[in-house]
Structure 1
Amino acid sequence: MSNDPGVRDTLSFMIARDTMHQNLWLAAIEDLESSGLETTPVPSSFPLELEKREFAYQFWNHSEGTESSEGRWAKGKSIDGKGEFQYVANPQPLGPEPQPPQPDPTLHGTPKTQAIQGNGASGGSVVDKTVIKS
């Protein structure tokens, strides 16, 4: 752990906020169940046959190492009793990398360069259009 007081203070604050968020979700689930409005998983009205069930109980490891494979969330019967947790050591993207559209120039977005665009339609790079006055 760092000895830097700012780092220690920030970490202490972030852990406190995480405690609140965990308790918030636990209280919300308890309230939904006790009032009879919902059961887990929420939304219970969503047809399970439409859910991509192959992913419903997978824990995707996005950390270095495999220590997370030992957790309750990565193996054994699921908390809701409807599945078995599965540990995925090296999850892979499920689709192609998205190509976002070029933003409106009034938003000051960086234009694509020829190297990125690949079709030469950019009319040169920003560097080519920049005039440096000395």
Structure 2
Amino acid sequence: MFRYSHQLQFSAKPEKPDALYAMKVQELIGGQFGEMTVMMQYLFQGFNCRMPGKYKDMIMDIGTEEIGHVEMLTTMVARLLEGAPAEVTEKAVATNPVLAAVIGGQNPHHAIVAGGGAMPTNSQGVPWNAGYIVASGNLLTDFRSNVAAEAQSRLQTSRLYGMTDDPGVKAMLQFNLARDTFHQQQWLLGIQQLVDDGLADVLEDSRGSEEDQQQNHTFWSFSLDGSAAGEGRWASGTALVGDQPIEYLPEPAFLTDDDGLLPPPDPELFSTYDGDQGPGTPGDAAGARVQGAKNVATKIKDALT
């Protein structure tokens, strides 16, 4: 259960309206690496966490904080749009055509769709997409995704910081930059805690005993004109998992004679085909169902023998 407080986590008061900058701030709200993404990402990770205690509580704490960050940014957008487009644009047009052109860059959706408010979109008006979030149920892989999300979010905030001279906007962005700095550390420390608690290795290695033991410590280089990649730590020394030395392959050999040829197409699908692979086998939905039934029967038979 969430409880709502009217008080923001930090002030969101610009010194003056700026409709064009309001459009830019939309990226920090509904962009791929905006606050809506990390908010939903952390909340779903927390909802799906199967370990009551410090991990679930930490994830939910930061997810809840991100709800507040979305509100701060939407409040900032509404205040940057105050008086726009009519009042601000009218004064600008009357005094400075260049300034009028800048203010004319306002996102029309702010006025037409949102009535002078923020939207769950990026700076170009593209709606936020739930496909942006990562919530796999594996805390190691999720925490690594969270570090990257916070880093990208902070980078974009830093870029926006340099695009305004409004002290009120800068003050809020300074706060956001600081929170993104610590959130990166929070997830990195979370990864270390998982390792210390014996819940994860340095990297995701589920079914590690079943993987190709020769290829889990080799670097394949595919440059025909020479590559400097072999100079990096990733191409020499000991692998991070296990005691195997990293093997650098400047001219890796093919490991198969599979030429990747596709089977002849179903003639009823009318794919472009010259007949080199022989005639295709006609198929239809009924045939697919029959094959599916055969597959099930085979699995049951195998399980009983």
* TM-score between the two structures when normalised by the length of structure 2: 0.26
Following superposition, the deviation at residue 24 of structure 1 comes to 4.9
CA contact (8 A) 2:202 2:240 kept: no
2:193 is matched with: 34
Partner of 2:246: helix, strand, or coil? strand
2:262 is matched with: 100
2:273 to 92, 111, 114: 111
- Structure 2 segments unaligned to the other structure (5+ residues): 1-31, 33-142, 149-186, 280-305
CA deviations 1:92-112 (Å, max 9, x no partner) are: 221122322223345442213
Higher fraction of helix = 2
- Structure 1 segments unaligned to the other structure (5+ residues): 1-16, 18-22, 123-134
Distance 1:25-1:91 versus aligned 2 partners, 3 A rule: farther
Instruction: Give the counterpart letter for 1:95 in structure 2.
Output: T
Distance 1:43-1:89 versus aligned 2 partners, 3 A rule: same
Following superposition, the deviation at residue 82 of structure 1 comes to 2.9
- Structure 2 CA distance, aligned partners of 1:112 and 1:98? 17
Partner of 2:248: helix, strand, or coil? strand
Higher fraction of strand = 1
1:60 lines up with 2:213 in the alignment: no
CA deviations 1:16-67 (Å, max 9, x no partner) are: x9xxxxx9548389455534542134234x252x322111110000123131
- Look at both structures and tell me which one has the larger radius of gyration over its CA atoms: 2
Instruction: Give the counterpart letter for 1:84 in structure 2.
Output: P
Indicate the structure whose relative CO is greater, using CA pairs within 8 Å and at least 6 residues apart. Answer: 2
CA contact (8 A) 1:33 1:39 kept: no
1:71 to 229, 232, 235: 232
2:250 to 89, 104, 108: 89
1:80 lines up with 2:241 in the alignment: yes
Following superposition, the deviation at residue 73 of structure 1 comes to 0.9
Distance 1:74-1:109 versus aligned 2 partners, 3 A rule: same
Distance 1:92-1:112 versus aligned 2 partners, 3 A rule: farther
Distance 1:91-1:26 versus aligned 2 partners, 3 A rule: farther
Identity %: 27
CA contact (8 A) 2:218 2:248 kept: yes
Distance 1:33-1:110 versus aligned 2 partners, 3 A rule: farther
CA deviations 1:101-134 (Å, max 9, x no partner) are: 2233454422134xx43xxx56xxxxxxxxxxxx
Distance 1:43-1:78 versus aligned 2 partners, 3 A rule: closer
- Structure 2 CA distance, aligned partners of 1:110 and 1:87? 41
Instruction: Give the counterpart letter for 1:91 in structure 2.
Output: P
